[in-house]
Amino acid sequence: METVSPLSRVSSSLSIFHYVNTLPLSMRCPLAERVVNTNVLRVGASTSAPGKNYNKERNSGENLSKTSSTGAKTGRRPRVTTGGRTGRYNGASKTEKLNLEVSPHRAVSAVRLMRIQLGGAFADLLNEQGKGSGDNEMGYVERTLGFRTRDLDDRDLRLVTEIVGGTIRWRRYLDHLILSLCHDENTFRTMEPLLLQILRIGFYEIVKLEMPTYAVVDENVKLAKVALRPGAGNMVNAVLRKLVLLKETNSLPSPKVEGDDRQQARALATIHSHPVWMVRRWANYLGLEEAVKLMTWNNSDPCYSLRANTAKGCSRADLVTELEVSKVPYELSQHLDDFVRLKTGMQIVIQAGLLKKGFCSVQDESAGLVVTVVDPKPGEIIIDCCAAPGGKTLFMASCLKGQGSIYAIDVNKGRLRILKETAKLHEVNNVVTTIHADLRAFAEDNSTKADKVLLDAPCSGLGVLSKRADLRWNRTLEDMEQLTNLQDELLDSASTLVRPGGVLIYSTCSIDPKENEERIAAFLLRHPEFCIDPVDKYVPWDFVTVDGFYSSNPVKHSLDGAFAARLLRSR
């Protein structure tokens, strides 16, 4: 058996550049797992579409925050103001102001929503103190709106997370209500981005969060007047008051689910706030009733799981003790011995430093079950083909117990660097070697063979829409075609790295058969030297499909959706 040289003949810069353009960061399995680095909990990544340049999109989304040369740290004492701005929204304002009247969480939410819609990253605010990156958010507010508010406290941070996630999740439904109350499609279509975000926030707070209506109207009117102009505030006031009246009389406009399949899908897409193509696809695959259940799950508050880092000597019992000391409610995983589930309290976990110290990491049980399908054993040589951000890599490394090797390949140098740093933090760096390479070029240039090869393939992320609310609006049918072509190419490349008698594991965080079962069927036709190795020996029977694959179903299992297949190489 040949072993892998730590930096064995990585691909050329030209091939890496080509792969970056083929595979933007967002197309990497978006949230099958998320590694928490020492500073920030990342619950999402860029939302660029396939085939686009990730860096270009990311920068365009941040242009709003770069239009001013005046930062938060100028050394000057901020000026306090309570008045409104009569001018239009201007991100280039160089006047540093502190406005104590505007609600901080609404100002931050509005700016964050604008950044996301224009291509900015969908990320959590929290770091180990629970508020450090809130300073960055306030910097964006100042450079975008021309003023600062008071600092975000823990309650503000929770509200920003709730409002941003909820407003994105319910965007289609909220826009339906706004359009209905504007009575003029042109007015809605030509509305200023900031004004639209303020209205969406107000509608979400009233309809979904059921906040006190007088406070919602007053605070959002104030934000519109200060950030835009008095006339904008008057419009927000009129529209929100109309909404309050309709809600109080139970007469909110709602489309009727009737007509042919297309018309029903369009109505359901509005009611449950999903793209029409997704509703039609799920209705076709799952049936209408199951499609509605899936959309309901996607719109629910996400749960998170923690994996105790046994490689650092932290057992699940130790982690539970820490959670109880911090008064964080939890549930023990029913499927994995090292996992616990949290519905609330993630901010407390971060503030307690459990992630920063490497005692645990954030990883969904669905991703953990993929690792059990791999079944890593001490002494084995394993290649993780699209490794970053590294949740599965680290879990596999802990299973090796210091014996064996994992070679983590990824095309994204920055995320690979984070993986390397986290491996050191988790004390598994002695078995993890990172390789910056395009998998396709690496496979062509290397005669390396491994016992097990994991391809956690770039995918649509349709199984993780509960956590990644923005993904539903950044996926198209055209994306699916490009992704499946890429998945086939990567599968072919990964297969060459498996020794005879070894195992290739293909996984996604998608629930779409086209990315899962159909990809395996097509691969087996091209590669008769591989056959299916049923996963019933590795995961509970409830996760095993009739074809012997692993599949987690969000509605059935209350986990993220995921898929994995074990393929045994005979020669």
Check if 182 is active-site: no
The answer on whether 410 is annotated among ligand-binding residues is: yes
Q: State how far the Cα of 74 lies from the Cα of 94, in Å rounded to an integer.
A: 11
Residues 553/545, Cβ–Cβ less than 8 Å: no
The answer on whether 438 is annotated among ligand-binding residues is: yes
Tokens (6 digits) for 168: 């994105």
Q: Is the dihedral of CA 131, 388, 54, 304 positive or negative?
A: negative
The answer on whether 391 is annotated among ligand-binding residues is: yes
The answer on whether 119 is annotated among ligand-binding residues is: no
389 upstream amide cis, omega within 30 of 0: yes
Contacts of residue 295, defined as CB under 8 A and 6 or more positions apart, other chains included, come to: 268, 272, 273, 274, 279, 282
Helix or strand (DSSP H, E) at 235: helix 230-248
β-strand pairing of 450-456 with 498-508: parallel
The answer on whether 317 is annotated among ligand-binding residues is: no
The answer on whether 24 is annotated among ligand-binding residues is: no
The burial class, CB within 10 Å (0-12 / 13-18 / 19+), for 468 is: buried
Q: Which of 29, 28, 555, 35 is nearest to 307 (CA)?
A: 35
The answer on whether 49 is annotated among ligand-binding residues is: no
Checking 68-74 for CB contacts under 8 A at 24+ apart, the result is 68/92, 68/93, 68/94, 68/142, 68/143, 69/94, 70/94, 70/95, 70/96, 70/142, 70/143, 71/139, 71/142, 71/143, 72/135, 72/138, 72/139, 72/142, 72/148
Out of 29, 303, 459, 509, the active site residue is 509
The answer on whether 388 is annotated among ligand-binding residues is: yes
Tokens (6 digits) for 1: 């058996």
The answer on whether 387 is annotated among ligand-binding residues is: yes
The answer on whether 132 is annotated among ligand-binding residues is: no
Helix or strand (DSSP H, E) at 304: strand 304-308
Q: From the annotation, which residues make up the binding site for S-adenosyl-L-methionine?
A: 386-392, 410, 438, 456
- Active-site positions read 509
Which residues sit in the known binding site?
386-392, 410, 438, 456
